[in-house]
Amino acid sequence: MKKTPRWIAAAAIAALMSASAAGQEIKISHQFKANADGRDLATRVFVKEVNARDPNLKFRIYPAQSLGIKPVAQLDALQNGTLEMAVFPMSYAVGKAQEFSIIIMPGTVPTLEHAMKLRGTPFQKKLQDLAHANGIHIVTWWWTPGAFASKDQEITGPKSVAGMKLRAADPTFETMLKAAGASVVNMPSTEIYPSLQSGVLSGTLTSAETFVSMRLYEQTKMATLPGKYSLWMLMQPLVMSKQHWDKLTPAQQKIFEEAAAKSDDYFLGLQREAVSDMEKAYKKAGAKTREMTQAEYDQWVALAKDTAWKEFAAKSPTSKDLLDALLAVK
């Protein structure tokens, strides 16, 4: 029997994979408000850009947990392949792999411009390797600057949080806050509002975007905005199940990467406005705002180096490698 040439067999497999990907609806889940929160808006830009290049790829976006998957549980669904894509705050993966704390390490990514410098560096490759080892592929490069807000107490330097009950989104931040005398409560951002309302929390750190889209200004009356630098910067990208990423053809993967780059630019523009929008929302609600001073920021970073950074680097060789790669980008 005559053998089929390898290139023909490869082409047939690629065609089948392409047909499979094209015929399947790609579900995108997230916890944020539709057509308002920047993470939802940037997701729609990504889908639009993909479809401009390949209209056969079908997507459906499920905002505000409408797919019925809790924010943290999205990781399980991505890993087992029941969910194709999600906008996923990477700190939610720390329960599975503690090394993911690197994407919110206090004081390491001070500005959005610095976050963009990280693209294409050894740090990005090491982070993607970590993601692949945990069943997901990072598609976009979305970073969100954040801030402090509290119900009744101005937050300045580390000493100002003593006795407060705070949410910070990650164990590394919690280590730093505990050293400053605060107690910490771990929860996804969807639970912050009722926790502030009930008194479980007296304050929180989260993204400027979330303070506005989840109306946290209704429950907090004092906000400390980033000044020249942001202490809290979290990567919240669009990610894909590694199983489903591998099913895409090389051409489709290239399309996804091109669409991701467009969405990155769009998202960056939104985040440059996010802190200003947060300030406006707080002032409109009659709350007080202030900027973190350089001296206060320096105090927090000094504390982070001695607590969060040190603890994280000691967790595993991978943790130290990631931190070294991150700090190498100036």
| Contact indicator for 106, 168 with CB cutoff of 8 Å | no
Residues of the chain with confidence (pLDDT) below 70: 1-23
pLDDT of amino acid 23: 62
> What's the Cα-to-Cα distance from 252 to each of 10, 18, 20, 113, 315, rounded to whole Å?
16, 8, 12, 29, 37
pTM, rounded to two decimals: 0.90
CB count in 10 Å sphere of residue 117: 14
Domain limits, the chain: 6-98+236-273, 145-233+274-327
pLDDT of amino acid 227: 87
pLDDT of amino acid 63: 98
pLDDT of amino acid 24: 82
- Alpha helix (H) ranges present in the chain? 6-23, 38-53, 74-80, 112-117, 122-133, 171-179, 192-198, 208-213, 242-247, 250-284, 294-304, 310-313, 317-327
pLDDT of amino acid 169: 85
> 145-233+274-327: same fold as 6-98+236-273?
yes
Measure the CA dihedral 27/28/32/34, to 10°: -70
* 313 Cα distance to chain centroid: 21
pLDDT tens, residue by residue, 248-300: 999 999 999 999 999 999 999 999 999 999 999 999 999 999 999 999 999 99
pLDDT of amino acid 18: 43
Phi/psi for 322 (5° steps) reads -65, -45
According to CATH, the superfamily of the domain at 145-233+274-327 is: Bacterial extracellular solute-binding protein, family 7 (3.40.190.170)
CATH number of the domain located at residue range(s) 6-98+236-273 in this protein: 3.40.190.170
pLDDT of amino acid 6: 45
> What's the Cα-to-Cα distance from 150 to each of 172, 178, 238, rounded to whole Å?
20, 16, 29
